[in-house]
Amino acid sequence: MLDKLIFGRFMPGESLIHRLDARTKLIAGFYFIGILFLANNWQTYALLTLFSFLVIFMTGISYRFFIKGVKPLIWLILFTVLLQALFTSGGTIYFSWGPFAISSFGIINGIYVFVRFVLIIFISTVITLTTTPMDLTDAIAYILRPFKIFKMPVQDIALMISVALRFIPTLMEETDKIMKAQRARGVDFGEGNLFEQMKVVVPIFIPLFVSSFNRAEDLADAMEARGYQGDKKKNPISYSTLALV
């Protein structure tokens, strides 16, 4: 399941979305998520869903690829939906047990939360799949540029965010390898009560942390070898700047 996580990966292509400026994609993504959180009726959610599928179609990437990418997070999404359904009151009560109740408003709110989660994953994945790491870093730095007046290291923050996004699939792949190695040694991750399962998971985190630190050290060495200096002022030249020359 972990190898199906596509968030954070880059897939080269020549589509319109691939060629779109990274700053435009980020700003449009923020606006989309903002509208998504403000939506309160099914018509708005239907339009946002159609827009998301249209954007995915324009990337030239298979819809099935995106749907598979949601699967690793489906249990987290369903758990959040269940909480919304149980703790949102109003409307017709269908089921009640102690402090918990499932009402018509709770079910509708749960459906909205489910759609909201899925669409956020879709749009975020579109941005990372169609934007190179360098373009993504420059776009984040551009958006955070107003914070320079507060002496914030904008370029370094943008780099950290970009590296963190790209590290997600790497860590998932490493976790999958460790789990397969543990299963080969006879470890069963699905047996026992909660405490026994937590005890089984501990041997995964130790090699995962060691591997993460090793990868981070290798990345730092590679950046240093290429002359990266975070405290130096950078003035990236964009296509729009060249067009004015």
Mean of pLDDT values over 172-194: 72
Q: Is the pLDDT of residue 238 over 70?
A: no
User: Hey, where are the domains in the chain?
Assistant: 16-131, 142-244
Record the pTM.
0.71
* pLDDT band (50, 70, 90) for residue 243: very low
**pLDDT above 90 coverage of the chain, percent:** 17
Res 192 pLDDT > 50: yes
- Which residue in the block uniquely carries the two structure tokens 């070898």? 225
Half-sphere exposure of 174 (CA within 13 A, CB side): 17
Neighbour tally for 77: CB within 10 Å: 16
Q: What is the pLDDT of residues 20-63, one digit of tens each?
A: 998 999 999 999 999 999 998 889 999 999 999 999 999 998 88
